[in-house]
């Protein structure tokens, strides 16, 4: 089949990308036209034209600011005739805009038309977007910045400004959000509910909200931060604001944090931020490997599905996994800082060391997970220490500590007399083969240790996991009772005991005060019905209208017709 | 308070550690005695005596084979009087043994007395234990080797022998097991059930069985492997046998694998073994970090509690998370090997790359998780490739691919025409802002691509996640229907789609045949009522008796009174 290509290149004009798409389709649909391409003349776009065999030689000279129109016709005449219809087609397109009597030319005018608008949606081309965002912040509006191709420097500057003003800037390159039930940009219609989201991820946010909806849960707010928010340079400026805001919102029950691969440092930092808030949180950082599934109130998920599952579960129960409230740190003497673990079970000891990593960076052991924390002498504790008394070194010509409590009781006495010991953690393993009544020996020894500590003006907490069933030869209930009567905090789960002890010892460390580096956002932004000004893609105005949210479309044109020098002069004039 | 210490050292005698413990307690309970220590004279034990102020100077000369008896009395007379009672106290102890008319002196005799015994329990001191284990294997018995302080060389040799014979050797240093509902060593009494366990971990196994019981589940078999089984040297010899055995057992519904920190290589290997079996598996390798929560049938847990939760959940449902069965690999042409992903959503693309790591080691992308897999040219796929068409490079002066399908359809055509393409994976994102009817454009293009492939004697699989809700402006149901009618495999979960595609493409690779390096263990060992011979701690015989399991206690004495040279001569005589 023969074909012929006609090209037109237009410089210094601005059309939004919806127009380009519609023009391309209209051209491709004309009689005798085989294919068409309407794009800005970037190198990437020229490569794509080449792949579709639309890269005529004259296109090579086009630059990024040029509009390139290519038509492949069955013959030269068809192609030329199509090109000649371009202006006409652009006019047709113009009439099918938003349904709004008057299109203001400026943000200021739009703001006067819809004073309750808290948000400005921006989807103009990247090189103009930062300027519009700055104007919006100056008007006291929060910003949903859909545009991509915005520089990192602009992002950092804009987020600094927003932090000062107590405003949110979602983006740049923020594709989606839900605010007070109204979807911005690309957003799905989901049930309202108490699971609220912060996401450095567009389709991640969408997939999670969709799956929450499909699993019966609901979402009222889902803030996008832009894909670069969790890089070290931006340091989660938007994510921190949004988490702090949702934590103050009485309607928010579960906070979900999703991110495309984040900076490890920023991610670790955000986990610390989440551990200090009052609500359960679910984290899905793609590619962030974690050795534990839960730490305190923070649950780690491994896919969007998993995130949705966890969030729906957590929202449907009244509390997180319940641990007893540890005693107030004021009960302890100032010398008391350390955890001492005395285990008879080797793997219970290992799991405890693993879980303690969430609370205490350094725990010494005779059987450490990491060799640098190997005790110099297994008989002498240093700092936080956890001993496995069932290790080979202790069992030559000696019964295993599950059968014989002697060695453990002797060590308990030593640890309890150490003025630095705050918490003693231990396991009591029941079952066939084990000591027939371990509590009868351990409980009096613990009671004495606690009394001795009290006589020395200290408070000694003893935490014990009793690992056994109601059918074991020892009577489980009696064992627990004897230990509790001696003042021991008892649980049947090793994890629960370790987390309780870890949390307690951590609370004895000097609390590092977190300085909030931003002005808090007014919680009204969550409560008031959303109203917005839209600058850019008209389809976003149509979406808001379809959701019954008041919106004003600005008839935006590039300042100075896109001339960057002139733009910067205008910006300076505006500032002064 | 004054005190005096008396010491007695006995050489060339053997007492089991229960006797030592009981003697120590009896001495400590005598009038005028303040404390007592009865231990073998190892350096570690001397250090412990020192810590209790029981290390008299004359103890320093004792060696590991010597029995050291130390008594601290209120005065010399009390201490000396206690020491003089040692022989008498040892005699008293002797009478309180197991309730058995005749105690055979050898394994052979015991075997004749209880021919149905499939197991020998061994808890003699470490240096004698390997010899007893070897004899047991030679008699065709499975071994539960409780003893620790057994050398790695002996462990490797014993496990090699067991593998040849189709026998199991649990241990050395295996503290616990449950076989056909009967607990061996330290074991809890738990409900029988279809969750069966393999553990390189003693108290880990116990805590998991206990928590399963407490959560309403049940365990019939729990094999200990010994703590070194998952080191590179031992290479999971016992774990592999037990997994293969449980996989063949029709009563086993869920297989749980628990280990103290394993070798990464061996752990990775075992995950591969588990992925090839037919049953859901739960893995809790302490400190083994994994970026995903589930891969195929293998679920990763992060604590014993979590392990128990997952196992109980999996045992209570009829199937694992359901994925449709992929088409048979024979439908594909031999050239077809690669996955091609065409995504409009950046984070959906990232999650997909992450999850694909479980199936395909190398997936190239314009937005890879790992820079080494960055495509040289985003427009040209290489090997397995996944493209994010929403990346900035594609969106300058062009609508986002969620709004405009043009670019994706052009790329779909190119990928479908590549004879190496087997599967095309894509996302279809619905919601406000997105294309009003994406399926109307994608479905015909996909149908054509599939038909073109068929015309070229290939089968092209297209898998699409539709991310949207039943309340979105596009009608979700219609979108799914249009795609399915075009032959697309559709799911609402990105994870489900990715895993389906990953599994399919993996199945097209040449299957590496796994050579089984051991003789399979007869499944009868799981079905027959347990019967055993016990060599060592009498309390283990008492435990079996309490559980109504037939058992014979051997009246074991160290060969040649513990003289190692003589022992090795005897062993050689026995072999010849």
DSSP letter for each residue of A395-433: -TTS--TTT--HHHHHHHHHHHH-TTEEEEEEEEE-SBT
Chain B closest CA to A73's CA: distance in Å? 18
Question: Which of B207, B366, B502 is the best mutation test for A, with the most CBs of A within 10 A?
Answer: B207
* Interchain pair B64, A396: CB under 8 A: yes
* Interchain pair A355, B261: CB under 8 A: no
Q: Which residues on chain A are in Cβ contact (under 8 Å) with B294?
A: 302
User: Could you identify the residue written with the tokens 């040649």?
Assistant: B560
Strand order in the sheet with B67-73: B4-10, B67-73, B33-40
* Interchain pair B21, A210: CB under 8 A: no
Q: Which residues on chain A are in Cβ contact (under 8 Å) with B407?
A: 48
Chain B closest CA to A305's CA: distance in Å? 7
The CATH number fitting domain A107-320+525-561, selected from 3.40.50.300, 3.40.50.261, 3.20.20.140, 1.10.3720.10 = 3.40.50.261
* Interchain pair A407, B48: CB under 8 A: yes
Across the interface, which of A348, A433, A540 has its CB nearest the CB of B543?
A: A433
* Angle formed at CA A533 by CA A530 and CA A539, multiple of 5 degrees: 95
Question: Which of A72, A190, A207, A225 is the best mutation test for B, with the most CBs of B within 10 A?
Answer: A207
* Interchain pair A495, B213: CB under 8 A: no
Q: What residues contact residue A282 under an 8 Å CB cut-off, 6+ apart?
A: A254, A255, A256, A257, A298, A299, A300, A301, A307, A310, A311, A314
Instruction: Determine contact, residues B196/B224, Cβ cutoff 8 Å.
Output: no
CATH code of domain B107-320+526-560: 3.40.50.261
Chain B closest CA to A49's CA: distance in Å? 10
Q: What residues contact residue B39 under an 8 Å CB cut-off, 6+ apart?
A: A397, A398, B20, B45, B48, B49, B67, B68
Strand order in the sheet with A4-10: A4-10, A67-73, A33-40
* Interchain pair B397, A214: CB under 8 A: no
Residue in A569, A570, A535 with CA at minimum distance from that of residue A553: A535
Which parts of chain B sit beneath pLDDT 70? 1, 92-97, 291, 317-324, 510-514, 560-576
Q: What is the arithmetic mean of pLDDT over A532-558? A: 92
Q: Which residues on chain B are in Cβ contact (under 8 Å) with A354?
A: 286-287
* Interchain pair A305, B493: CB under 8 A: yes
Question: What is the bridge-based pairing of β-strands A294-295 and B67-73?
Answer: unpaired
Q: Which residues on chain B are in Cβ contact (under 8 Å) with A191?
A: 471
Question: Above 60 in pLDDT, residue A319?
Answer: no
Instruction: Determine contact, residues B219/B245, Cβ cutoff 8 Å.
Output: no
Q: Which residue of B has its CA nearest to A465?
A: B207
Dihedral pair phi/psi, residue B417, rounded to 5°: -80, -10
Instruction: Determine contact, residues A46/A59, Cβ cutoff 8 Å.
Output: yes
Q: What is the pLDDT of residue A574?
A: 60
Domain ranges of chain B: 4-95, 107-320+526-560, 338-508
Chain A closest CA to B414's CA: distance in Å? 9
Q: What is the pLDDT of residue A368?
A: 94
Residue in B76, B22, B119, B37 with CA at minimum distance from that of residue B530: B119
Is the four-CA dihedral A206, A211, A216, A217 of positive or negative sign?
negative
Q: What is the pLDDT of residue B206?
A: 93
Topology (CATH) of B4-95: Gyrase A; domain 2 (3.30.1360)
Instruction: Report pTM.
Output: 0.72
Give the helix ranges, DSSP H, for B96-201. Answer: 107-113, 126-138, 152-165
Q: What is the DSSP letter of B60?
A: G
Instruction: Determine contact, residues A195/A218, Cβ cutoff 8 Å.
Output: yes
Question: Which of A16, A210, A213 is the best mutation test for B, with the most CBs of B within 10 A?
Answer: A210
Across the interface, which of B291, B304, B355 has its CB nearest the CB of A351?
A: B304
ipTM for the predicted complex comes to 0.76
- For A169-216, what is each residue's pLDDT tens digit? 999 999 999 999 999 999 999 999 999 999 999 889 999 999 999 989
Instruction: Determine contact, residues B300/B292, Cβ cutoff 8 Å.
Output: yes
Q: What is the pLDDT of residue A313?
A: 85
Residue A296, CA distances (Å) to A264, A282, A286, A554 in order: 20, 11, 21, 47
Q: What is the DSSP letter of B444?
A: H
For residues A66 and A13, what is the distance between their CA atoms, to the nearest angstrom? Answer: 8
Q: Which residues on chain B are in Cβ contact (under 8 Å) with A47?
A: 379
Instruction: Determine contact, residues B130/B150, Cβ cutoff 8 Å.
Output: yes
* Interchain pair A20, B173: CB under 8 A: no
Q: What is the arithmetic mean of pLDDT over A405-411? A: 94
Chain A closest CA to B558's CA: distance in Å? 14
Label residue A65 by pLDDT band (50, 70, 90). Answer: confident
Chain B closest CA to A430's CA: distance in Å? 7
* Interchain pair B291, A303: CB under 8 A: no
* Interchain pair B546, A473: CB under 8 A: yes
For residues B332 and B458, what is the distance between their CA atoms, to the nearest angstrom? Answer: 6
State the number of CA atoms in the 13 A half-sphere of B192 facing the CB. Answer: 9
Task: Answer left, alpha or beta for residue A86, where phi above 0 means left and psi between -120 and 50 means alpha.
Answer: alpha
Give CA torsion, residues B283, B284, B287, B292, to 10 deg. 40
Instruction: Determine contact, residues B20/B39, Cβ cutoff 8 Å.
Output: yes
* Interchain pair B473, A290: CB under 8 A: no
Question: Which of B216, B312, B406, B432 is the best mutation test for A, with the most CBs of A within 10 A?
Answer: B432
For residues B396 and B419, what is the distance between their CA atoms, to the nearest angstrom? Answer: 31
- For B69-122, what is each residue's pLDDT tens digit? 999 999 999 999 999 999 888 876 554 567 777 889 999 999 999 999 999 999
Question: Which of B67, B365, B397, B399 is the best mutation test for A, with the most CBs of A within 10 A?
Answer: B397
Q: Which residue of A has its CA nearest to B538?
A: A433
Residues making up chain A, counted from first to last? 576
Q: Which helix (H) or strand (E) holds B325?
A: none
For residues A428 and A488, what is the distance between their CA atoms, to the nearest angstrom? Answer: 12
Residue in B267, B272, B195, B196 with CA at minimum distance from that of residue B229: B267
Instruction: Determine contact, residues B307/B208, Cβ cutoff 8 Å.
Output: yes
User: Could you identify the residue written with the tokens 């069932």?
Assistant: A390
* Interchain pair B205, A176: CB under 8 A: no
Q: What residues contact residue A470 under an 8 Å CB cut-off, 6+ apart?
A: A476, A477
What tokens does A191 get? 């049930």
Q: What residues contact residue B445 under an 8 Å CB cut-off, 6+ apart?
A: B405, B409, B412, B413
Q: What residues contact residue A392 under an 8 Å CB cut-off, 6+ apart?
A: B148, B149, B173
Q: What is the pLDDT of residue A569?
A: 66
Q: Which residue of A has its CA nearest to B206?
A: A467
* Interchain pair B398, A40: CB under 8 A: yes
Q: What is the pLDDT of residue B321?
A: 46
* Angle formed at CA B127 by CA B122 and CA B131, multiple of 5 degrees: 60
Q: What is the arithmetic mean of pLDDT over A377-404? A: 89
Q: What is the pLDDT of residue A395?
A: 79
Q: What is the arithmetic mean of pLDDT over A539-556? A: 92
E strand segments, B270-366: 281-285, 294-295, 298-300, 338-343, 364-365
Q: Which residue of B has its CA nearest to A45?
A: B394
Query: In the CATH hierarchy, which top-level class contains the domain A338-508?
Result: alpha beta
Question: Which of B433, B468, B472 is the best mutation test for A, with the most CBs of A within 10 A?
Answer: B433
Chain A closest CA to B576's CA: distance in Å? 32
Question: How many interface pairs between A and B have CB atoms less than 8 angstroms apart?
Answer: 357
Q: Which residues on chain A are in Cβ contact (under 8 Å) with B397?
A: 17, 20, 39-40, 42, 45, 64, 67, 125
* Interchain pair B44, A472: CB under 8 A: no
Q: Which residues on chain A are in Cβ contact (under 8 Å) with B288?
A: 291
Across the interface, which of A21, A211, A258 has its CB nearest the CB of B493?
A: A211
Dihedral pair phi/psi, residue B545, rounded to 5°: -60, -45
Residue A190, CA distances (Å) to A281, A310, B116, B494 in order: 20, 17, 64, 18
Burial class (CB in 10 A: 0-12, 13-18, 19+), B392: middle
Across the interface, which of A45, A397, A410 has its CB nearest the CB of B397?
A: A45
Q: What residues contact residue A133 under an 8 Å CB cut-off, 6+ apart?
A: A120, A122, A143, A145, A154, A158, A169, A172
Q: Which residue of A has its CA nearest to B23?
A: A398
Residue in A415, A408, A451, A446 with CA at minimum distance from that of residue A338: A415
* Interchain pair A467, B175: CB under 8 A: no
Chain A closest CA to B494's CA: distance in Å? 8
Residue in A189, A547, A228, A543 with CA at minimum distance from that of residue B467: A189
Chain A closest CA to B521's CA: distance in Å? 26
Q: Which residues on chain B are in Cβ contact (under 8 Å) with A467?
A: 188, 203, 206-207, 210
Q: What is the pLDDT of residue B564?
A: 59
Comparing B4-95 with B107-320+526-560, is the CATH topology the same?
Answer: no
Across the interface, which of B304, B369, B396 has its CB nearest the CB of A40?
A: B396
Chain B closest CA to A191's CA: distance in Å? 9
Question: Above 80 in pLDDT, residue A320?
Answer: no
Alpha carbon B355 to chain centroid, angstroms? 22
* Interchain pair A44, B294: CB under 8 A: no
């Amino acid at each position: 089949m023969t074909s012929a290509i006609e090209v037109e290149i237009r410089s210094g004009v601005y059309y939004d990308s919806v127009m380009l798409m519609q023009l391309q389709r209209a051209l491709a649909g004309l009689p005798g036209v085989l294919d068409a391409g309407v794009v800005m003349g970037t190198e990437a776009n020229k490569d794509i034209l080449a792949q579709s065999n639309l890269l005529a030689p004259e296109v090579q000279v086009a630059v990024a600011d040029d509009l390139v129109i290519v038509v492949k016709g069955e013959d030269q005449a068809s192609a030329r005739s199509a090109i000649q219809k371009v202006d006409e087609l652009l006019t047709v397109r113009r009439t099918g805009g938003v349904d709004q009597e008057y299109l203001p030319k400026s943000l200021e005018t739009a703001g006067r038309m819809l004073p309750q608008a808290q948000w400005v949606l921006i989807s103009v081309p990247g090189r103009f977007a930062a300027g519009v965002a700055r104007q919006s912040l100056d008007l006291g509006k929060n910003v949903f910045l859909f545009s991509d191709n915005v520089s990192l420097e602009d992002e950092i500057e804009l987020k600094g400004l927003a932090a000062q003003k107590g405003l949110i800037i979602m983006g740049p390159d923020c594709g989606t959000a839900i605010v007070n039930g109204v979807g911005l940009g690309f957003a799905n219609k989901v049930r309202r509910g108490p699971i609220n989201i912060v996401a450095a991820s567009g389709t991640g946010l969408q997939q999670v909200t969709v799956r929450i909806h499909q699993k019966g849960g609901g979402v009222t707010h889902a803030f996008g931060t832009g894909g670069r928010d969790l890089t070290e340079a931006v340091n989660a400026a938007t994510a921190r604001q949004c988490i702090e805001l949702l934590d103050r919102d009485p309607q928010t029950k579960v906070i979900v944090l999703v991110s495309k691969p984040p900076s490890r440092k920023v991610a670790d930092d955000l986990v610390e931020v989440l551990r200090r808030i009052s609500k359960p949180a679910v984290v899905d950082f793609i590619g962030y490997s974690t050795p534990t599934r839960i730490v305190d109130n923070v649950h780690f998920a491994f896919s969007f599905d998993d995130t949705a599952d966890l969030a729906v579960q957590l929202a449907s129960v009244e509390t997180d996994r319940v641990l007893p409230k540890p005693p107030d740190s004021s009960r302890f003497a100032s010398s008391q800082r350390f955890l001492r673990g005395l285990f008879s079970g080797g793997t219970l000891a290992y799991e405890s060391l693993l879980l303690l990593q969430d609370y205490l960076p350094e725990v010494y052991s005779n059987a450490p997970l990491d060799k640098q924390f190997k005790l110099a002498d297994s008989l002498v504790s240093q700092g936080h220490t956890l001993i496995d008394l069932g290790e080979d070194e202790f069992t030559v010509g000696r019964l295993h500590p599950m059968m014989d409590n002697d060695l453990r009781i002797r060590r308990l006495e030593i640890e309890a007399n150490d003025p630095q010991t705050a918490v003693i953690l231990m396991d009591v393993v029941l079952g066939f083969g084990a000591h027939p009544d371990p509590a009868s020996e351990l409980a009096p020894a613990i009671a004495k240790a606690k009394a001795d500590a009290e006589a020395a003006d200290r408070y000694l907490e003893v935490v014990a996991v009793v690992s056994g069933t109601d059918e074991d030869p020892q009577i489980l209930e009696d064992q627990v009772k004897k230990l509790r009567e001696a003042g021991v905090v008892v649980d049947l789960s090793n994890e629960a005991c370790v987390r309780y002890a870890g949390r307690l010892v951590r609370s004895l460390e000097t609390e590092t005060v977190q300085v909030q580096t931003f002005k808090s956002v007014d919680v009204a932004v969550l409560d008031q019905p959303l109203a917005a000004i839209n600058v850019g893609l008209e389809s976003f105005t149509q979406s808001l209208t379809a959701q019954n949210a008041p919106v004003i479309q600005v008839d935006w044109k590039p300042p100075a017709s896109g001339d960057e020098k002139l733009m910067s002069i205008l910006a300076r004039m505006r500032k002064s």
